Each structure stands twice: as C-alpha cells, then as structure tokens.
Amino acid sequence: MESPGRLPYRRLMIYLDRLGYLLGLEGVALLRAFREDGSDRAFVEARIAEIRRLLDTPALAEAGGVTAEPGAVSMAEVYAAWAPHYDAGGNQMIDSEQPVVRSILDGLPVGVALDAACGTGRHTAYLAELGHQVIGIDRSPDMLAHARARLPGASLLEADLHRLPLPDDAVDTVVCALALVHVPDLARALAEFARVLRPGGHLVISDPHLLSAYLAPRKERTSADGRPALVADHHRPLSDYLAAALPLGFQVRRCAEPRRPALPLVAGTRPPESLPPHGAWDIMYWCPEAANAAMENTPVAVVWHFQLS
C-alpha cells in the first residue's frame, strides 16, 4: 500500500553506505547506554572516540555507497541461491525461533498439519515426527526439491500463501515460519490460514522481528539486468499481526520474542584488510564493541501461537 505523498514501493531507491551503517550502530549503542544499566563513562567516551576514528578512516570515507532498488530482485531468485545452503546451520534467526516453535508444537494435539512456506522442510519433518499427517507448501521449487529429498513421499505442493490449494476446514494446525515478512498483504494470508483451519485449530507463526531488521546490515543483490537491488520485505510491528488475526477469530495463546545472544565479536579485533561488501555481517568488525552493545539481547524474531475460536 502506498503512503500519501510517496512514490510507489518499487520506485523508491535506498542508498547503502558502510560508514553510515557503522555510525548507526554506534548511535544505537550510545542510546542503549543512556537507557540501560551497566554502561559507564568509559564506554560512552570510547564510542565517541571510535566515531571520530571511523569518520577519519580513508577506506570508509572513500569507498562510498551504492543505490539499490527495493523489489528489483524476487524472493524466488534469492531462495534459488539459498536452497543448497539453507540447512547448513549457523543461521541465528533459525537457531532463535526453532526451539520456541517446537516447544509450542510439542503441546498441540496430533492431527492434520500444514507447513505453509515449508522451505526445505525443517518444521515439516518435525511435525511428521510428532505423528501429524503433514502437508507442505512453498513457492520455491528449489526449496521444495530439498524438502522432497528430506521427506520422500510427503505431500509437498508448490503454491502461494494467498491461494492455499486446500479446501475449507481441512487442517488442525498451520505453521508458517519466517515467511510472512515476504508477504505484502498479511491480512489476506492469515485469512487463508483461518479458512483452511478447523474450528479450534492452531496457528503458529514466526517472523523476523522489526527491531532485528533495523539493526542488521541490509544486503544488496544484483537484479536480472545487472542493477543493485534489494528484496522487498515487510517487517511489521507486533500490533500488525494482532490487527490482522483478531478480526478473523484468532485468539492469542502465546507470544514470544527470542533474543539475540552476544555476537561472536571481540573488542579490539582488527578490521579486515579490505572492506566487506555492503550488507555483510563482517562490517561489524570495524566496531565490534559497539555492535555487541547495540545488538546483544535484542529480539531477533517474534513467535505467535493463535487458536481459531
């Protein structure tokens, strides 16, 4: 949906700059220091001194940035590249949300379960282990290929969250993990979940947290015609999920915000010889203490458990 006075989403351009991002981390670290206990004068003075050093670093000042267009590369293209490596481990978002999602699933009655946007089938496989009759759907044929290798014989369908290939009242549980961030119309997707759920059915959602989106470096990609591009994502405040779910008859059973542990960054670590690409996590090695202070114990994901009344 367009905002008054703004260009359509596809025409917005975003300027990504390494120095700007690092200064943003320093600012967040300082704001947290002013609000929270445990940050003394030495920490604040160290941040101010580091900001001056970053501003005076020729490599950062001369590198410049890149202007990228949101939505000029599709999630289908991104997942095609991710699919071979998605299950390799080391994804902090998955490591944070998966134990919470599974703790909810462990307490649900066994029945027919839909893993919506199942990806490579990590939650699909767990639901099957719990005894559910499982259906998985995803838009990415590349991700589904890995899910089929993991779960031969499972019912895995290529479909869109806005148009689930299921009849009304078909399932007892719906799981949708780390996918609604890619969906522009949240209410429409949740309406589809409500349609296929039986009365009293359960909906378990996880999504990247809005605060995590603000703090993480944003990775630019290359569009089909060679231009810098960004994925069109839709990070939302928690109230948006409630605004979409409650009118459909969903009742909140649980909401969790798993936190990010300390980053594996060591104060005093020398930055790499060359600048990392825009959006790479390695950029944080230019200010590891500030990065840890800005990000540690911040919500990395949100997990919702709804029940259909």
**Nearest-angstrom CA–CA distance, 18 and 25:** 11
For the stretch 3-30, pLDDT in tens is: 333 334 445 788 999 999 999 999 999 9
Total domains in the chain come to 1
Total residues belonging to the chain? 309
Q: Answer yes or no: is 3 within a domain.
A: no
Number of H helices, E strands in the chain: 11, 11
Strand partners, 14: 68
- The per-residue pLDDT for range 74-110, each reduced to its tens digit, is 888 888 887 887 877 778 889 999 999 999 999 999 9
Residue 268: inside a domain, yes or no? Answer: no
User: What are the phi and psi torsion angles at 139 (to 5°)?
Assistant: -85, -20
Residue 2 lies in a domain: no
Note whether residue 195 is domain-resident. yes
Q: CA 304, 306, 309: angle at the middle one, nearest 5?
A: 170
Distance CA 14, CA 223 (A): 15
User: What's the domain range around 41?
Assistant: 9-261+274-308
- φ, ψ of residue 53 in degrees (nearest 5): -65, -45
CATH number for the domain including 191? 3.40.50.150
pLDDT value of position 225:
86
CB neighbour list of residue 273: distance below 8 Å, 6 or more residues apart = none
**Of 131-135, 183-187, 196-200, 231-235, minimum mean pLDDT range:** 231-235
